[in-house]
Amino acid sequence: MKWRNFIESIVTDCKFNPPTTETTIAKIEDMFQVKLPDELKNFLRETNGVKYSEYDLPLIWNTDLFQQENYNMRSEQFFKEMYMPFDPLLFIADAGNGDLFGYRILNGVIDNCDIYTWNHEDDSRTWVAPSLQVFIEWWYKGQISI
């Protein structure tokens, strides 16, 4: 799949970052002890995150935000005391209200491409899309409610 073509077909005001490197992908996999799904790696090889709207809202985070947000959610004492562990999730985007979107990790593997939302108010984790492609389309079109 050509991610740029797909995203441009549904998001009229998108801004793409330059592709990420294989070294950065490997660093994320090592940092969080997880094998990234092919769909996410292919996305990152085309664009290191996508922003949209006149406000430059991130549709999908760049790898710097992946690393920063996932590291913070796993290591900050406040989060450890307040919520269930975040090791079973790899966050890739936010909803703009404190909720986050990500893949489920099971035994160090993202075994399917389902996307879940983590609700920051009640710590629930809810399925929202069967793949990154569908997530991008549904989220941009307002078909995912949080």
Q: For residue 67, what is the domain's CATH number?
A: 3.40.1580.10
**Backbone φ/ψ region at 35: left (φ over 0), alpha (ψ -120 to 50), beta:** beta
Give the CB-side neighbour count of residue 105, counting CA atoms within 13 A.
20
pLDDT at 91 over 90: yes
Q: Provide the domain count of the chain.
A: 1
Q: Which two tokens stand for residue 124?
A: 């629930």
**Residue 146: per-residue pLDDT:** 86
- In this prediction, residue 118 carries a pLDDT of 98
> Going by C-beta distance under 8 Å and a sequence separation of 6 or more, which residues neighbour residue 98?
120, 121
On whether the CB atoms of residues 66 and 91 are closer than 8 A, the answer is yes
Identify the H or E element spanning 117.
Answer: strand 115-118
Structure confidence by residue, pLDDT tens digits, 109-144: 999 999 999 999 999 999 999 999 999 999 999 999
What's the pLDDT at 139? 96
Cβ atoms of residues 84 and 73 within 8 Å: no
Kindly calculate the radius of gyration of the chain based on its CA atoms and give it in whole angstroms: 14
- Which domain, by its residues, includes 69? 3-140
At 109, the amino acid letter reads V
Paired residues of 106 in beta bridges: 109
In a domain, 145, yes or no: no
Interior CA angle at 69 toward 129 and 10, to 5°?
40
Confidence of residue 1 (pLDDT cuts 50, 70, 90): confident
Domain assignment present for 146: no
pLDDT, tens digit, for every residue of 39-83? Answer: 999 999 999 999 998 888 899 999 999 999 999 999 999 999 999
